[in-house]
Structure 1
Amino acid sequence: MGSASYSLYERRSKRRGITVLAILGALIVVTFIISVNTGYIRLGPLDLIRTLFGSGTDKQELILFEFRLPRIVISVLVGAGLAVSGCVMQGISRNALADPGILGINAGAGLMVMLFVAFYPATAAAPVFLLPLLSLLGAGLTALLIFTLAYKRHEGLSSTRLLLTGIAVAAGISAATIVLTLSLSPEKYQFVATWMAGSIWGSNWKFVLALLPWIFILLPFVFYKARVMNVLNLGDTTATGLGASVPREQLVLLAAAVGLAASCVSVSGGIGFVGLIGPHLARRLVGPKHQMLLPAAALVGSLLVIVSDTIGRWIIQPSEIAAGIIVAVLGAPYFLYLLARARS
């Protein structure tokens, strides 16, 4: 392929990627509008517009601003964070099955939250802004353990060893979490059960404010590292030859991925498969280059979580199904499909 042909291909690929991002953004806006009007008490389009501009009733303003909008905003942020975290883990490990849930990162964050719930005297009054820090501590220790066990000095970071180590560590942490739940009071056990199902339980503006700094700092940082991730995908030897410090870059990107996953898990519970499905669907839409792949994964993840949460709130009204369960229903078959492809 000549330079002119390659340049034309690059321009077409970039235009296609921008078009895909615009379509995904439009789908999120449409789903956002549908989600605002989904619930036991409906808000019609005119009621919604009036309430947004301050002309709604007190009841409508309470429903919209205190219950639905914070939950929808958290769904969008959590979906983006988990999907980008999974995309980073797949990139640095060069393993299509890598995901913060499968590798045990979510389990480590969850265990720390469970310990906090078990020993904090009043769960309802727990300081909201402390939860992301505790999740980060649990996820960071878990990631450090997995990375240490999977990394070999002369072989580097083996993707197969990373996946198997992560699954083993996740199984151990999950067992410890189950044992811990046996000692909880009924009230705290109800909270734990809701959290483990992947419900968007942190549905008020305090949780939005607790999550926003992590998303606004770590997402741009990961996007900035897109070119580095492209180089890392070429293999350790080639990346080193091109001047990249492979172990350092892997560690920095892993830390960013862990931070994203931990902060999201702290307000959304154990939502799995978003970090697995989001990057794969984005890769099919925009290709493997991380300049487009990372923002596409963020949008796909946001769309997946907000759609799942909306379906969960609508399908058995006035009760609801946790978003994590809906995502699992969608994600489990796709995970089996990826395993079948990997075997073949």
Structure 2
Amino acid sequence: MRKDRSKLILFITFLLTIVFVIIGLSVGYTSLGITQLFPTMFGGGTGGDEFILFSVRMPRVIILLLAGMALAVAGALLQTLTKNDLADPGIIGINAGAGVGITVLYLFAKGDLANFSYALPIVGFLSAMLTAFFIYIFSYEKGKGIQPFRLVLVGVGFAAALSGIMIMLISTAQRSDVAFISSWLAGNVWGGDWPYVWALLPWIAILIPYVIYKSNHLNILGLGEQTAIGLGANLKKDRFILLIIAVALAAAAVSVTGGIGFVGLMAPHIAKSLVGPRHQKFLPVAMLIGPVLLLLADAIGRSILAESNIPVGIVVAIIGAPYFLYLLKKNL
């Protein structure tokens, strides 16, 4: 019965994802309703409709899909590896670390990031890994290891400090550069063109299947340390590899979407509440809930104001911040 319920929930979340993809392709400053959407998709639309769909809307929706998957899986990995329900790439400073690297690259490229699209995830990853290393050092307590609550506090401090560094880097730059960094900090999806899709896709296509393959190892890592060792787990090696993957997924996602937080916090928790804590069951559901959250936030942000968009990151934060406070109170 439980197995059937898991399959049903996975199917429902898949249908929800399809629904929000269609909404994402339809909603915007220029209307492209259902009656126009499907004919245009199969070559029966006007030139204007084809441009809106294939050059503007579709790459943005695919970016949100891929980024939602990456952030959800990264959050699930961090929560398992740190045994901390509050872990999230945005909350503990990983996203901000990637952002500093992206900002430096942006200034080096003089605003022409399209020519460096494939370098974006790599630069974001290296910068985020350096951040993760320092967060680990400051969170580690000799004889006790990583303290979950301390990890959150250190991560929040690093996120604030790194955001300040980003603003310092940009403060002496040109006005267009200021606009970019402000957009990144707000979580405005700026990389909405096809080159950014191709830059992000390999990271998702390679790393997420590996995480699914390691689901049973993740179940073991979630147990007590002695139990995991008794079951034959190589804790140091597995934790190191999976931590690198979590940082890589988060960095790749925010390198093209901007500083979007809370998705990695909410998606795994919602998935676990629906299908239970086994990674084989909740990871596929979380991978679909992540895109649903981003697509929903994007649709809300593009619908509230007629002539301007509210950044996805701000809408997600409005939803996610109360949830974070609820979890914080629950874990105290």
TM category, shorter? over 0.9
The alignment's TM-score, normalised by the length of structure 2, stands at 0.96
Name the structure 2 match of 1:38.
Answer: 27
Indicate the SS of the match to 1:271: coil
Q: CA deviation at 1:325?
A: 0.6
What residue number does 1:107 align with?
96
Task: Indicate whether 1:26 and 2:15 are aligned.
Answer: yes
User: Could you tell me which of 77, 86, 89 is aligned with 1:88?
Assistant: 77
Alignment partner of 2:151 out of 155, 162, 181: 162
Moved runs in structure 1, 4+ residues, more than 4 A? Answer: none
- Do 2:106 and 2:113's aligned partners in 1 also have CA atoms closer than 8 Å? no
> CA shift at 1:44, angstroms?
2.6
> After superposition, where does 1:136-147 map in structure 2 within 5 Å?
136-147=125-136
What is the CA–CA distance in structure 1 between the aligned matches of 2:77 and 2:219, rounded to whole Å? Answer: 11
Deviation at residue 163 of structure 1 after TM alignment = 2.4
**Which secondary structure does the structure 1 equivalent of 2:307 belong to?**
coil
Deviations 1:310-334, CA, capped at 9 Å, x for gaps? 1111110121110001000100111
Partner of 1:189: 178
- Within 5 A, what are the aligned runs for 1:192-211? 192-211=181-200
How has the CA–CA distance of structure 1 residues 177 and 124 changed in structure 2, closer, same or farther, with 3 Å as cutoff?
closer
Aligned to 1:3: none
* Distance across 2 between alignment mates of 1:223 and 1:328: 28
Q: 2 CA distance for matches of 1:210 and 1:216?
A: 11
Which amino acid is 1:221 matched to? Y
- 1:66 is aligned to 55
The Cα of 1:167 is off from its aligned counterpart by 2.3
Distance 2:238 2:188 in 1: 33
Q: How far apart, CA to CA, are the structure 2 residues paired with 1:160 and 1:340?
A: 12
SS in 2 for 1:60: helix
Decide which moves more: 29-38 or 256-265: 29-38
Query: 2:211 & 2:118 partners in 1: Cα distance?
Result: 23
- Alpha-carbon separation, structure 2, partners of 1:44 and 1:187: 33
Identity %: 45
Q: State how far apart, in whole Å, the 2-side matches of 1:242 and 1:157 are.
A: 22
Tell me the alpha carbon deviations over residues 245-271 of structure 1, each in whole angstroms, 9 at most, x when there is no partner. 112111111001001000001000000
Gaps of 5+ in 1: 1-11
Aligned pairs (5 A) from 1:5-24: 12-24=1-13
Amino acid at match of 2:206: I
CA-to-aligned-CA distance 1:118-171 (integer Å, 9 cap, x gap)? 233343554111111110110111112222333456433332333233223223
The RMSD of aligned alpha carbons is 1.4
The unaligned stretches of length 5 or more in structure 2 are none
Confirm whether residue 221 of structure 1 aligns to residue 210 of structure 2: yes
Question: After superposition, where does 1:286-325 map in structure 2 within 5 Å?
Answer: 286-325=275-314
Count of matched residue pairs: 332
Q: Which amino acid aligns with 1:69?
A: M
Counterpart selection for 1:332 from 309, 314, 321: 321
214-223 vs 176-185, greater mean Cα deviation:
176-185
Provide TM-score, normalisation by structure 1: 0.93
Instruction: Give 2:221's aligned residue.
Output: 232
In the aligned structure 2, how far is the partner of 1:294 from the partner of 1:83?
Answer: 8
Q: 1:122 to 1:32 in 2, by over 3 A?
A: closer
| Alignment correspondent of 1:150 | 139
Aligned to 1:6: none
Q: Is the 8 A contact 2:111 2:177 kept in 1?
A: no
SS in 1 for 2:291: helix
C-alpha separation in 1, matches of 2:161 and 2:28 = 38
**Rg (Cα) greater in structure:** 1
